[in-house]
Structure 1
Amino acid sequence: MSSPPFDTPITRISAKTASTVLERLAGSDRLERGGVFVISVEAIRERSGDRWDRKRDDVWGYTARKLNEYLSYQDIHQQLSDTDVLVAMTTEDGVAAQAVGMRVLEEVLEFFLGSVDRRDIRIKAVTKIDGDYLSCADVDPDAIATARATARATPGPTESAPAFSPYRNRVSAERERERNPVSFVAFNGQAIQIDFSLEHVVSLRHGVTAVLRIEPTVTFRDTGEVIPVRKFGRLADEDMLAIDRATVAFGGLFLPEDARKQPPVILPVSFRTMGGRKGRHLLLNVPGASNEQVRQGAMLEFIDVERGTPSGRLVEVVSLVGGITRGVLARLQPNREALGPVSGARFNGLVADFADLGLPDPQLEAFMRAMALQMRGKAPALIAQGLAERLHFEMADDAGFTHAAIRAAPNTVTRRDVA
Structure 2
Amino acid sequence: MLLLHTLRTEKDRVLAGLAKRQVANAEATVDQIIALDDQRKALQTSTDSLLAERNNLSDKIGALMKAGKREEGNAMRDKVNAIKDEAAIGEEELKAVKAQLEEALLGLPNVPHQLVPAGVTEDDNELFKPFAGQLPTLPAGAKPHWELAEEYGIFDLELGVKTTGAGFPVFTGQGARLARGLVNYFLDRNTEAGYTEYQPPLLVNEASARATGQLPDKEGQMYHCTEDDFYLIPTAEVPLTNLYRDVILDESDFPIKLTGYTPCFRREAGSYGAHVRGLNRVHQFDKVEIVQFAHPDNSYAILDEMVAHVGDLLNELGLPFRILRLCGGDLGFTSAMTFDFEVWSAAQERWLEVSSVSCFETYQSNRLKLRYRAEKGTELAHTLNGSALALPRIIAALLENNQTEDGVILPKVLHHYLGMSKLVRK
TM-score (normalised: structure 2)? 0.22
Give TM-score scaled by structure 1 length.
Answer: 0.23
Q: Say which one has the larger Rg.
A: 2
